[in-house]
Amino acid sequence: QLGDFEHFMLKEINEQPLALENAFRGRLNMSEGTCKFGGLNLSRKNIRQIDRILIVACGTAWHSGLVGEYLIEKYSRIPVEVEYASEFRYRNAPMDKNTLVIVISQSGETIDTLEAQREAQRKGYHVIGIINNVGSTIARENDGGIYQHSGPEIGVASTKAFTSQLLILSMLSVYLGRTRDLSYADGCQMVEAIRTLPKLVEQTLELGEEIQSIAKAYAKNKDFLFLGRLEMFPIALEGALKLKEISYIHAEGYPAAEMKHGPIALISEDCPSIVIVPDDETLKKNLSSVQEVRARKGKVIIITDSYDIPAHLADEIITVPKSHNCVRPILMTIPLQLLSYYIAVELGRDVDKPRNLAKSVTVE
């Protein structure tokens, strides 16, 4: 049911506070500064023996895996690799004995992800899933997992399922970290950041009108660049994918510092850059990327949680609430979802059923 919303995508964007709460309900252990999961089927001893994690997924779920790589490596200190499921299943890459495989899929029916899971299981690896669709084929066949409980996602462009995957990966990084060497104090801070996230998401959603007017001003552009560093790089990729999928505008995501190795040639008055600028140790570097774009007459939209960015540095500044690093990618995603949604609406696109795309890809 659409209720008051014009499209399922907008409804699902607005459902994110609840979807996130559903993802952490019953899974936070405040007193021990950790998270708990019922169905991983891994003992603490098993977890201490993991030498490597391989995350396998497609599309938006692959982007959440890339953010997961940063989170798990940072908080659990376990090396992580992320592969497209379609590549993994045919590549026969050598793997370490003590590798944990994580598959991520909203639908739980994506054929490439399912076959990648079967391939990993055939070789004896323990595969856990982060899945939204309860009882789906991937969920039924894996060795353990975490359900997202985001509720049905109807819009072809994934929104609430993506941010819920990010939250679960953040919780998983706390759990793995606390089973290895994340401190009690750090664990407590992260758990508190997760618990209070839905309120911050609600505040971020209030940016809707501001973003709608920015979307109107930029909808005529034919190319966009999305830039971010570290865990904001996959968020840039996701922003570009959202825009491509529903508005059919060409968009590319890049790590901000890679711009000078090629994509900078694209920059002109007609190719705006959307730069994600978190208030952290990358801030100055990101602002120098912004200046490189501006020096070439490129328009810049900054998405930030810093209150100190001089207004003259960008054409538009969208400010989200401040948050802990472990949940910040979620807050940075929401303006990108709204921007692509309103641009697609402005262009009269079929937002919920974009051309050539299906909600779940069950062909190879």
Binding residues (CB under 6 A) for ligand M6R: these are 58-61, 105-107, 110, 113, 156-158, 245, 357, 360-361
* Number of residue whose CB is nearest ligand M6R: 59
Which CB sits closer to ligand M6R, 108 or 187? 108
Q: In this structure, which amino acid lies at residue 100?
A: L
CB of 253 to ligand M6R, least distance (A): 13
From the CB of residue 39, how many other CB atoms can be counted at a distance below 10 Å?
Answer: 14
Compute the distance between CA of residue 97 and CA of residue 60 in angstroms, rounded to an integer: 28
Catalytic residue among 74, 322, 353, 359: 359
Q: What distance in Å separates the CA atoms of residue 332 and residue 344, rounded to the nearest whole number?
A: 19
Residue 359 a catalytic site member: yes
Minimum distance from CB of 110 to ligand M6R (Å)? Answer: 3
Do the Cβ atoms of 359 and 107 come closer than 8 Å?
A: yes
Pairwise CA distance, residues 89 & 86, whole Å: 6
The residue among 20 and 157 lying less far from ligand M6R, judged by its C-beta, is 157
Please count the other Cβ atoms lying within 10 Å of the Cβ belonging to residue 308. Answer: 7
Span between the terminal Cα atoms of the chain, in Å: 31
Shortest distance (Å) from residue 158 CB to ligand M6R: 4
Outline where 248-327 has alpha helix (H). Answer: 283-295
By beta-carbon proximity to ligand M6R, the closer residue of 30 and 357 is 357
Task: Write out the DSSP string of 326-357.
Answer: TTHHHHHHHHHHHHHHHHHHHTT--SSS-TT-
* Residue 236 to residue 223: CA distance in whole angstroms: 14
Cβ distance to ligand M6R smaller for residue 10 or 287: 10
Cβ within 8 Å of residue 167, ≥6 positions away: 20, 23, 24, 194, 197, 327, 330
Question: Which neighbouring-strand residues pair with 128?
Answer: 102, 144
Least distance between ligand M6R and beta carbon 281 (Å): 30
**By C-beta, is 107 or 304 nearer to ligand M6R?**
107
The span from the CA of 342 to the CA of 208, in Å, is 9
Which lies closer to ligand M6R via its Cβ, residue 24 or residue 162? 162
CB of 47 to ligand M6R, least distance (A): 25
* Smallest distance, ligand M6R to C-beta of residue 357, A: 6
Number of residues written out for the chain: 364
What span, in angstroms and rounded, lies between the C-alpha atoms of 162 and 120?
Answer: 24
* Residues marked as catalytic: 359
